[in-house]
Structure 1
Amino acid sequence: MRATSTLSQAAAIWSFILPAVLAVPGLPGLPDKIYGVNLGSWLVLESWMLPQECAFAKAFPDTVDQIFDGHWTSWFNQPDVDALKANGINTVRIPLGYWIVEALVDRATEFYPRGGLAQLRRGLQQLNAAGIVAILDHHALPGVAAVNQMFAGNCTSTPMFYTDANYHRALIWTSVMTTLSHVDSAFANVVAIEAVNEPIMDATQTPGYGNFQQNFVKVLRATEFLLGVPSPGFPALPAPANGNFTAMLPNVNISSIFTAEVLSVLQDAASILVELGVIPALSHKRTQLITNFMDVNWQFNDPPNPAAAANGPQGYDNHLYYVFGGVADPNPTAYLISICNLPRVQNDAALGNSPLWFGEWGLPVQFTANDTFLTQWADAQKLAYSKGAGWIFWNFKIEKSELAEDRAREWSYLEGVELGFLTKDPSQVHDPNVCAPYITATPAT
């Protein structure tokens, strides 16, 4: 396809004017070292709050929006932001469901609350005022991307995300959220969008996922291009005085990003943006968002490498929970030997998955842990994860109730600071030599 006709189609969809903007290298907007928390159970509920979001919405269709609005308002608000700022947090990862873009929901078969986008805008503005940047995490995807997981919004043993139709819906979500991140002032502190949270680990069960990774980056970069933010090798153009920008298009082939699928996604996203009352305009940021994937080593059985999809700044996410088993024997010594010799940052870098941050981790273990060990455990994990781009704790807080039992002790960042397991300054540890007795000559896995 000729470049002129390709760009003409794309421009006709949104009727943008392309200004001259220079690409920004690196990872724009992220702190030099990430010290973060997840805002879990806010806009995507977890199992201790309700059994599953979809089932609840289906059971209470007349009141679900009001009920959820009350939860959204009370679970994360200004006092929480103040607490995060006071404890040195510089980044949040915000789990989102695809249903926050309400037009993507098939109301005949899918049941989710409405009104989340207004709450997201409110929360982002509060975080921005506190100097905290945000990663938008596509946590619960169309059709469900994970097996029997409450975080997916609908707990099912038959995930259906890995189909062309649901990939397409996820890409529309990507374009809409990219546009909002660039033109809506409430999204000023959004620096990255994560494509998929925790896909099925067995790559043989995720057909087409490699193509989706490629299309995710293309859609995000094509959207940015039309908002005046260039992709590498495709600098944007000065807007012509007569408004006829098509006459100014260079004779270069950029069909590598403006493919038929991307153009279809942009067209579908444009209609949704109109419904939202969003008028696409020039980006307020003029810098690229960071594309973000779970690292290649998250999957096995010949997984696609997300590094192959990179175009512009890209970061990689790994999650590590010892409490679920399979990492180390369930005793303090085995845990510390494992974490103190963890080679994940190096292993990922060897495959091009760098910079890497650990987007989910916590203090839970498989055995009864005393306060002394939890303090060591916190220090050792922070030291290990800080060898990469940094870390994001799961979760910022946990419900404190009889039903939640004592989960906050090991799962809540703010509780961990209060109890003394986690240092108030997240860049510090209690004992920088905590790993010294556990360094071995045998590499960990």
Structure 2
Amino acid sequence: MHLALLYLSWSLLANAAVKAASMPNKIYGVNLGSWLVLESWMLPQEWLNMGGQSCSPCSACIADEFSFAKAFPNTVDGIFKNHWETWFTESDVDTLKGYGINTVRIPLGYWIIEQLVDRQIEFYPRGGLEQLIRGLQQLQAAGIVAILDHHALPGVQTPNQMFTGHCTTDVEFYTEPNYLRALTWAGVMTALSHIHPAFTSVFAIEAVNEPIMDAAGTPGYGTYQKNFVTVVRAVEAALGVKVQGLDNPQATANASQAILNLSSSQNNTRFNNDVTAALRNTASTLVQIASQDSTQFDLERSGRGQAPLVTNFMDVNWQNDNPPNPSAAAWGPQAYDNHLYYVFGGVAAADPNDYMISICNLNRVQADAALGDSPLWFGEWGLPTQFDATDAFLQQWADAQKLAYSKGAGWIFWNFKVEHSTLAGNLSREWSYIDGVKLGYLTEDPSTVHNASVCAPFVNEN
């Protein structure tokens, strides 16, 4: 869309009432990976063209956003602006709409809220929030709803992963200062989702993407889960959204002041020091965002009449070693996320028959529900395998996974697209939803499969 027309459409929308999106009855979605959190393995040639490098481990060279911004401080913003504007476009939105996609999961880094970044020791491109606003406007116009996924956390939540924005073994997310920054991020995103007109397509916020799987390595994570939900609900109550047990209709027309007022309430036993600090930080950050030319919006809004957002966590079965159950944090609508990739091993033997036996007898939806982690959606999955898969198998593999994941709240494919280049090779064959449809592995209607009986020979097999 031409920028002038986009601004006009935003202006018209800004004068309309903000109304939060609703969770679909069944989620048929894709991830917008490598857009606002770039993972260079999915666009290896573009990354080299940008000035990046390729190495293993990824911490050994310029292979992530952190190292890139540190190496090119004077040009990083312009280079990433070009990437953001070309990797996810109006054309992609039209394609996804044509394929019946109703949901996108948008991986985001904490640095999209630039006020949270310590520029003395942390290095990331600026301008991402402006791009998120643009993309959400386009999605809203297409009738596609969104999950804001906190994919890359302050301090890094998982070692040696591009998806954290900083490939490093120095994992410091699970500390008090970084928990607080993440809570502030959640408060800001919650407020924007209720009062910024571009965020009307948002129905859920995910707290943490793929924390360390061993709960012994994530101290304080259970408390963070409860604080996350409390911050979301407190911001909503301050904005006039009806929150059970926290009746605090917005008493001032200014959203930032309303949040600040609630943070100062002396009679609310739900608020510990971290929650109170996060609410105050949220209030001040909103003022700054609202006053910037590229992200400005009207703070004189409320969330009255809107439904609360869905808070979202990786399910309890994501971790081992006595993990905290996120269901204990639930307050209002909450959903759970599970990711399943066979290509990395540990799920089934590396052959087609074992893959099909495993997926056709998958019981994760039932197992999670028994622990209170329901509804469950599968927020990441794909078609890659540990063996050379035939076209015929990939079609079966797609059908079987869709049938298994649809037993829950639905599924979100990783990724919406992957680079086409000599360097990328055949990556897009198994990692790109758009190419999967074009190649015939995935049906054009996401609610259907090629063969509804694809699992019949494998059900109840060992």
Q: TM-score, normalised by structure 2?
A: 0.86
What is the CA deviation profile of residues 180-224 of structure 1, one whole-angstrom value per residue up to 9, with x for unaligned ones?
A: 111000000100000000000000000000000000000000010
Instruction: Work out whether 1:30 is the aligned partner of 2:23.
Output: yes
How many Å separate the matches in 1 of 2:206 and 2:168?
A: 22
SS at match of 1:438: coil
Match of 1:46 in 2: 39
Provide the secondary structure at the position in 1 that maps to 2:349: coil
- Contact 2:234–2:246 (CA<8 Å) still a contact in 1? no
Matched, 1:327 2:347: yes
Corresponding position of 2:229: 217
Q: Tell me how far 1:281 sits from its aligned partner.
A: 2.9
SS at match of 2:205: strand
Out of 284, 309, 313, which is 1:271 matched to?
284
Tell me the residue number matched to 1:79. Answer: 91
**Closer/same/farther in 2, CA of residues 238 and 184 from structure 1, 3 Å limit:** closer
1:402 maps to what in 2? 422
Shift of 1:331: 0.3
Q: Structure 2: 5+ residue runs without aligned partners?
A: 1-19, 48-62, 291-296
Report matched runs for 1:311-326 at 5 Å. Answer: 311-326=331-346
**Is 1:351 the counterpart of 2:371 in the alignment?**
yes
Partner of 2:400: 380
CA contact (8 A) 1:196 1:294 kept: yes
Cα 1:87–1:171 change in 2 (3 A) is same
* Whole-angstrom distance in 2 between the partners of 1:101 and 1:53: 15
Q: 1:16-27 to 2 correspondence within 5 Å?
A: none
Unaligned runs of 5+ in 1: 1-26
Partners of 1:85 and 1:186 lie apart in 2 by 18
- Displacement after TM superposition at 1:53 (Å): 0.6
Deviation at residue 258 of structure 1 after TM alignment: 2.8
Q: Does the residue aligned with 2:74 lie in a helix, a strand or coil?
A: coil
Residues 272-295 of structure 1 show CA distances to partners (whole Å, capped at 9, x for unaligned) of 111112526312662100000000
Deviations 1:288-311 (A, max 9, x none): 000000000000000000000000
- Partner amino acid for 1:63? T
Change (3 A) 1:395 1:375: same
Describe the shift of the 1:253–1:334 C-alpha distance in structure 2 as closer, same or farther (beyond 3 A). farther
1:106 aligns with 2:118: yes
Q: Distance in 1 between the 2:21 and 2:132 partners?
A: 22
How far off its partner does 1:124 sit? Answer: 0.3
* Cα offset, 1:232, TM superposition: 1.5
Q: Which residue type is aligned with residue 35 of structure 1?
A: Y
For residues 340 and 125 of structure 1, what CA distance do their matches in structure 2 show?
Answer: 38
* 1:293-344 deviations in Å (ceiling 9; x for gaps): 0000000000000000000000000000000000000000000000000000
How far apart, CA to CA, are the structure 1 residues paired with 2:203 and 2:67? 32
Q: Residue 400 and residue 377 in structure 1: after superposition, are their counterparts in 2 closer, same or farther (change >3 A)?
A: same
Tell me the residue number matched to 1:5.
Answer: none
Q: Please say if residues 219 and 257 of structure 1, whose CA atoms lie closer than 8 Å, have aligned partners that are also in contact.
A: no
- Percent identical across equivalent pairs? 65
Q: Give the distance between the partners of 1:216 and 1:171, measured in 2 at CA.
A: 6
Aligned length: 409
Distance of aligned partners of 1:283 and 1:413 in 2 relative to their CA distance in 1, 3 Å threshold? same
Deviation at 1:235, TM superposition (A): 3.2
User: Is contact 1:182-1:285 (8 Å) kept?
Assistant: no
- Please say if residues 112 and 127 of structure 2, whose CA atoms lie closer than 8 Å, have aligned partners that are also in contact: yes
After TM superposition, give the deviation of residue 47 of structure 1 in Å.
2.7
Structure 1 residues 81 and 440: CA distance shift in structure 2, 3 A: same
Structure 2 residue 172 is the aligned partner of structure 1 residue 179: no
Instruction: Decide whether the 8 Å contact of 1:47 with 1:151 is kept in 2.
Output: no
Q: Distance in 2 between matches of 1:261 and 1:270?
A: 14
Q: Output the amino acid matched with 1:432.
A: A
1:158 Cα deviation after fit: 2.1
Partner of 1:95: 107
Q: Which residue identity lines up with residue 358 of structure 1 in the other structure?
A: F
What does residue 361 of structure 1 align with? 381
Equivalent of 1:338 in 358, 362, 365:
358
The answer on whether the counterparts of 1:222 and 1:257 sit within 8 Å (CA) in structure 2 is no
Q: CA deviation at 1:440?
A: 1.1
CA distance in 2, matches of 1:390, 1:95: 18
CA-based RMSD of the aligned residues comes to: 2.0
The runs of at least 4 consecutive aligned structure 1 residues that moved more than 3 Å come to 235-241
Asked if the contact 2:241–2:249 (Cα under 8 Å) also holds between the matched residues in 1, the reply is no
Question: Does 2:210 match 1:226?
Answer: no
- Please tell me whether residue 301 in structure 1 is matched to residue 313 in structure 2: no
Distance 1:268 1:125 in 2: 26
The TM-score, its normalising length taken from structure 1, stands at 0.89
The structure with higher relative contact order (CA 8 Å, sep 6+) is: 1
Is 2:151–2:164's contact at 8 Å kept on the other side of the alignment? yes
